[in-house]
Amino acid sequence: MAQRSAAESGAGGEYGAQNITVLKGLEAVRMRPGMYIGSTSARGLHHLVYEVVDNSIDEALAGYAKRVTVTIHPDDSISVEDDGRGIPVDVHPTEGLPGVELAMTVLHAGGKFDKNTYKVSGGLHGVGVSVVNALSDRLKVWIKRGGKEHYMDFARGITQAKLAVLRAVPARETGTKVWFKPDATIFQETQRYDWTTLASRLRELAFLNKGIQITLRDERPDEGRAEAREEVFHAEGGLREFVQHLNRSRKPLHPEVVSIDTTRDDIGIEVALQYNDGYADTVFSFVNNINTHEGGTHLTGFKSALTSVINKYIEKSSSLNKKDRELRLSGDDVREGLTAVLSVKVREPQFEGQTKTKLGNSEAEGAVRSVVNELLTQYLEEHPKTANAIIEKAISAARAREAARKARDLTRKKSALDVAFLPGKLADCSLSDPSLCEIYLVEGDSAGGSAKQGRKRDFQAILPLRGKIINVEKARFDKVLSNEEIRTIITALGTGIKEEFDIAKARYHKVIIMTDADVDGAHIRTLLLTFFFRQMPQLIEAGFLYIAQPPLYRVAKGKEEHWAYSEGERDGYAERLGGGGEGRGTVMIQRYKGLGEMNPDQLWRTTMDPETRTMMRVTMEDAVLVDETFQTLMGDDVEPRRQFIESKARFVRNLDV
């Protein structure tokens, strides 16, 4: 019989009921907040807002709310107010508590678990307002219902003030207002809300739920702004306006957005699409307002139907020659230059995948496929100009596919392990376990030389890149693959690319972009990020992509030295080393404009040593916002880029030009 040590058995050597910890109420949420909101970083902080807003959106989906207002108060507390029916205030027949108190203090208590209350719910993947209550230092709720305004007060999930009636209100006035202040002991990394992050999600919700008016207000003081910042999101056109928004800095091939909005097999299906003259496809899918980053059955149904419809249209087209009519287009061919949004409303969604954002309902695939097959075919027949623009784009993509295949073969001919293919470039590591290995993509031979000399050869590989890689936002896939630096990266990583990408074949689990701290370095970094986002997004989703953070300054006096990553740090170190009366005369300050200015030992100690380095992991929390940003920065349209730079200019300090 296996024996347990005293440590395993407890101090007394016995394992009994007294050793079992019972977490009551919302204690479990405060004990393990990451289990409920993903993390206690900025991502989790913003998730609190989404949970409360989800309740308001559910009321709107049920037809009872038209307006939602989210306010960021000066102390970074949040209030969410809607004009829905108001959370129930009557006493629950079995629990003996008012409905609002149950919703705020008991996990999995809410109207969305009753099929008669909400047909579909946008918060089904979430955890409810009770978790927001548990993770807030203070939460207050006001409810207008039945001609009265009710009020309750909570602190860290515990009721402070029982439900009370504040005043009488007109019977027509209904709704809920929730105010909360996140608990700083939980969210230690940051308690500050980001306008852009919240605006992006609220704008998305307005597009996904046409007719709803969502207002975002920011009452925090800001330089040069006398009044509160406010933006209203309202889209009567729903997904049509969403696609127009996504394509605003692209050049559409046809003026109108093709849209479908119907119900099939008790599943609400809405699709909008428009082609542009670009080469990347931008397709977003949602289930009950949840962004299904990993796709699922609904997206599979859409893609297969789109390919089928366009191939059948080509077969029947009398304006095409026999050779083109016999073409069999692939999914990649028909999606080149496509911007599309698919949104389905499902009563009981079943999610799967690593992040639970992949729809598994088999009935959704058939419903979406039949709707798109039927209605898109009808649309193309009734709009021949639009159809011809789409067909020409797809056929052009098919012709380029053969050239891309030839270019792709160049990356296959040599094994990813054959460093002879990369003479003078890849300095590989000796370990073969990818989880222990990392590769630095380094700007230029000079920095590459320092990195090669300073690295630890057993687990660190160095790949110097000469010049700037191709801008994949403006190039077709065959042109991308014909770029030598791109081919070198693909071969070194070993994963393949596009539909052949296989994360299991990754030769390194850390891919680190290391460029100079100047304008050229920033441009090269952005080009690389654009490449990975468009061609290898799975690498980002797996958490394998990083950005190195080399110091900007070395501050030294005698044998003492410090590395500064900002002007503020530089000045602080200089003052400390110089002493109050000495000044900076004996303090040496060195500015590093390029990695090549560091000797190998310095580069190792500051930027490459896992024990001391700082790196930023590249994430893709909001794919819609990321897509918009890359299109703005790297696309053809100059005006949106100018506006973006002007809006962000006030955040820039001491730009090197």
More confident residue, 376 or 595: 376
State pTM to two decimals. 0.74
pLDDT for 233 equals 96
Confidence category of residue 296, pLDDT binned at 50, 70, 90 = very high
DSSP state of 91: B
Q: Which residue has the tokens 């370990």?
A: 431
Query: What is the pLDDT of the chain when averaged over all its residues?
Result: 84
Q: What is the pLDDT of residue 215?
A: 97
Domains and CATH numbers, the chain: 27-234 (3.30.565.10), 239-408 (3.30.230.10), 414-550+616-651 (3.40.50.670)
pLDDT for the residue numbered 568: 86
Q: Per-residue pLDDT tens for 230-269?
A: 999 999 999 999 999 999 888 999 999 999 999 999 999 9
Over residues 30-39, the pLDDT tens digits come to 888 888 888 8
Read off the pLDDT of residues 468-504 as tens digits, 9 standing for 90 and up: 788 888 888 878 888 888 888 998 998 988 778 899 9
Q: Name the 3-class secondary structure at 385.
A: helix
Please, are residues 631 and 644 in contact by the beta-carbon 8 Å criterion?
Answer: no
Residue 173's pLDDT is 94
Query: Which residues are within 8 A (CB) of 621 and not within 5 positions of it... i.e. 6 or more apart?
Result: 43
Radius of gyration of the chain (CA): 28
Confidence band, pLDDT 50/70/90 cuts, at residue 142: very high
User: Cα 579 vs. chain centroid, distance in angstroms?
Assistant: 46
Better-scored residue on pLDDT, 413 or 430: 430
Tell which wins on pLDDT, 412 or 133.
133
Residues annotated catalytic, as ranges: 443, 516, 518, 520
State both tokens at 438.
């990392």
CA 207 to chain centre: 17
> Residue 413 in contact with residue 407, Cβ under 8 Å?
no
> What pLDDT sits at residue 127?
59
What's at 263, amino acid-wise? T
End-to-end CA gap in the chain? 73
pLDDT of residue 80 exceeding 90 = yes
Are 338 and 281 in contact by the 8 Å Cβ rule? The answer is yes
The dihedral over CA atoms of 308, 309, 315, 317, expressed in degrees to the nearest 10, equals -160
Between residues 399 and 545, which one has the greater pLDDT? 545
User: If pLDDT is split at 50, 70 and 90, which confidence band does 341 have?
Assistant: very high
pLDDT of residue 548: 93
| pLDDT > 50? residue 657 | no
Give Cβ neighbours of residue 161 (< 8 Å, ≥ 6 apart): 151, 152, 153
Better-predicted residue by pLDDT, 643 or 380:
380
What span, in angstroms and rounded, lies between the C-alpha atoms of 551 and 602? 10
Crossing angle for the helix pair 195-208 and 42-61, to the nearest 10 degrees: 20
pLDDT digits (tens, 9 = 90+) for 550-563: 998 999 988 888 99
- Cα(599)–Cα(604) distance, integer angstroms: 9
In the predicted structure, residue 148 carries a pLDDT above the cut 50 = yes
With tokens 């980002």, the residue in question is: 540
Token output for 532: 């990975």
Contact criterion met (CB below 8 Å) for 56 and 118: no
**pLDDT at res. 624:** 73
Tell me the mean pLDDT in the region 76-105: 91
Sign of the CA dihedral 442, 446, 450, 452? positive
Tell me phi and psi for residue 471, to 5 degrees: -80, 105
User: What contacts 1, CB < 8 A, 6 or more positions away?
Assistant: none
